Structures are given as C-alpha cells and as structure tokens.
Amino acid sequence: MKTAELGDIVEFHDGLRGRVEKVNENSVIVDLTIMENFRSLDMEEKTVINHKRYKLVEDPISQ
C-alpha cells in the first residue's frame, strides 16, 4: 500500500474524505473541511487516520 503524501486526498470510514496535512510514521492528519457536506456532519475539522485505515483517491478538484 502506498503511503499518502502532503496534499493527497484520502478516503476512510465509509466515504469520509480529507486532504492530508501532515504525515507521521504510523498515521496522517487530514483536513475534513474539503467535503461539501462537512458542516452537516458535526465533526472536528481535522482527524488522525492510521495508514492501514485509508485509501488514496483522485482529487476531484484538480481534474
């Protein structure tokens, strides 16, 4: 599995997406505010995801 890099978009936990802001040894910190429905989810703006728990996705903004 390829580890995410800064700026990558990752998907985790049944469709949540975030942009990678920091890469740690075992995890990444992602910004969830890129999702259109972020405000309705009642979640924190950032979260930590273990490398085993996400998958890289294409960035729809850059296409």
Q: What is the pLDDT of residues 34-49, one digit of tens each?
A: 999 999 999 999 999 9
Domains of the chain, by residue range, sit at 9-57
pLDDT tens, position by position, 45-61: 999 999 999 999 975 55
* CA distances from residue 11 to 5, 45, 53, 59 in whole angstroms, order as listed: 13, 15, 9, 11
Question: Average pLDDT for residues 11-24, to the nearest whole number?
Answer: 96
Amino acid of residue 6 = L
pLDDT at 60: 54
pTM of structure: 0.86
φ, ψ (nearest 5 deg) of residue 2: -80, 135
Residue 63 pLDDT > 50, yes or no? no
Number of H helices, E strands in the chain: 1, 5
9-12 and 54-57 strand pairing: antiparallel
Report percent pLDDT > 70 for the chain: 92
